[in-house]
Amino acid sequence: MSNLQPTYHDAELLLKLYDLRREPVMREARAFYANLAPTEENFLSVVANPTSKESSYVRQVVGYWEMAAALVVHGALNARLAFDTLQEMYFVYVKIKPFLPTLREKTNSPDFLANMEKLAEGTQESRERVARVQARIAARFAGATKTNA
């Protein structure tokens, strides 16, 4: 992670990202994503119907966090500040991580969530966070097999 000091620009960008998360449809999308049981069947069935509200929700959430990750990966947002404040991004990544290769293959999108993956897997510290979030998600959804279980 970058050792550079965050700037006021970083803070402004971070606050803008936070503000965007508060938009009503984004809140609905985030709630749907948070409650979507993390099974390959659930993700594939949602993605397979691109005109559904649920598919739109998943695309909105993962697209938002992929955009935020790209800002960090490309240096527009301080990496240390992002690590300390964008914990939800790790949750979003971890829920989809087991199915990422399948989703990339089935959607013919080999770069799908590449920035989020780079950020989440890029350091020992971030990989440790991924492992902690995986444990929390596994405990939360133990035995869940259907959407919104």
Q: CA 4, CA 129: separation in Å to the nearest integer?
A: 21
Please say whether the beta carbons of 117 and 4 come within 8 A.
Answer: no
| Number of other residues whose CB lies within 10 A of the CB of residue 67 | 13
- Determine the 3-state secondary structure of 144 from DSSP: coil
pTM, two decimals, is: 0.90
pLDDT of 129 above 50? yes
pLDDT tens sequence across 99-117:
999 999 988 999 999 999 9
pLDDT tens sequence across 18-54:
999 999 999 999 999 999 999 999 999 998 899 999 9
Check residue 107 and give its pLDDT.
Answer: 86
Check residue 149 and give its pLDDT.
Answer: 40
Q: How large is the average pLDDT for residues 124-145?
A: 91
Check residue 3 and give its pLDDT.
Answer: 56
pLDDT of 146 above 70? no
What stretch of H or E contains 53?
helix 53-73
Please report, rounded to a whole number, the percentage of residues in the chain having pLDDT higher than 90: 86
Q: How confident is the model at residue 147 (pLDDT cuts 50, 70, 90)?
A: very low
Domain boundaries, the chain: 8-140
Q: How large is the average pLDDT for residues 94-103?
A: 94
Mean residue pLDDT of the chain comes to 92
Tell me the HSE value of 15 on the side-chain side, using a 13 A CA sphere: 6
